[in-house]
Amino acid sequence: MGATCDTCQDITKEIEREVLRNTMGAFRLRMNFPTGQKHQRPEKIDIVAIKNEIPYTIKIPISDYPAIFPIILLPRPGSLVSSQPRSYPLNYQIILAQTIGVSPESLGYDRFEAKWNVNAVSFSRFVAKIAHCFAVRQLGINGFTHSVTPLIIIEDISILDFVGTTEELNPPAETPPRIAKHSLRLEILPDYDNTLWVAVYIRFFANWKGHIQSNPELGMPEYVCLVGRPNESTFPQILNQQKPFYKPWTKRDRKDSRRAPKVG
């Protein structure tokens, strides 16, 4: 969140910990993504293997883990489609993407069954935090009117009126590099009655292709966050930012990436 108070930083750190450790933890271990807690990394990971419809919990070395990634598909942000708050409970979809690793057949099982602690509200707050920081980075603190910040700090299901997924999954824009990048872009987006929003689009692992088993031509989903309303200084800034921003790798990222398995 940049220059936020210690209390808010503690809250956003907890959001990041829940998503990165609970939802994506095993996948991040397998891909050797950067972490500040390397000494806590286990040598093996539990996974549920199914044989004749009977589940068995087995331990797999990290080097063999199949890197099953949960792709969370949310509806479109509720504020784009209606003035009424979204009705709950929310229906969201999870697609499994297996990138690399051993197959269940090679271990004598029929299939793997992965389970995660997926919280759509926490994940949406995680996306909103990244989106808000990116909008401030690109437009400046006064470059738009802020709408989503209170919902990043306070756990509230109405965050899903501001965060969602685009309507369709699309192919990736580029050939995947050895380690994929995340893309971010800004856009002015009209809602159901043509009121304008500053929208940030985020695509994690933007260059990945072939990991969604149901359709190997598709890439990862693109999330959209309505970070606020445009003001008089927003539009000149937006016009200069038509191309996606790809998060650059730090020296530490590059060092870890050399030890990570190839994807794509």
- Mind listing the pLDDT tens digit for each residue in 137-167? 889 999 999 999 888 888 887 888 899 998 7
The pLDDT mean for the chain works out to 76
- What's at 242, amino acid-wise? Q
Burial 16-38 (b: 16+ CB within 10 A, else e): eebbebebbbbbbbbbbeeeeee
What is the tally of structural domains in the chain?
A: 1
Considering the domain boundaries, does residue 1 fall inside one?
A: no
Q: Is residue 90 part of a domain?
A: yes
| Max mean pLDDT range (13-17, 79-83, 123-127, 242-246) | 123-127
Q: Does some domain include residue 262?
A: no
pLDDT tens profile 26-48? 777 777 776 666 667 778 888 88
Q: Is residue 184 part of a domain?
A: yes
Does 121 fall in a domain?
yes
What was the pLDDT predicted at 104? 85
DSSP 113: E
Give domain status of residue 264, yes or no.
no
Q: What is the model's pLDDT at position 263?
A: 36
Structural domain contains residue 228? yes
Q: Is residue 216 part of a domain?
A: yes
CA separation for the pair 174, 14 (Å, rounded): 33
Range of the domain at 93: 6-257
pTM: 0.77
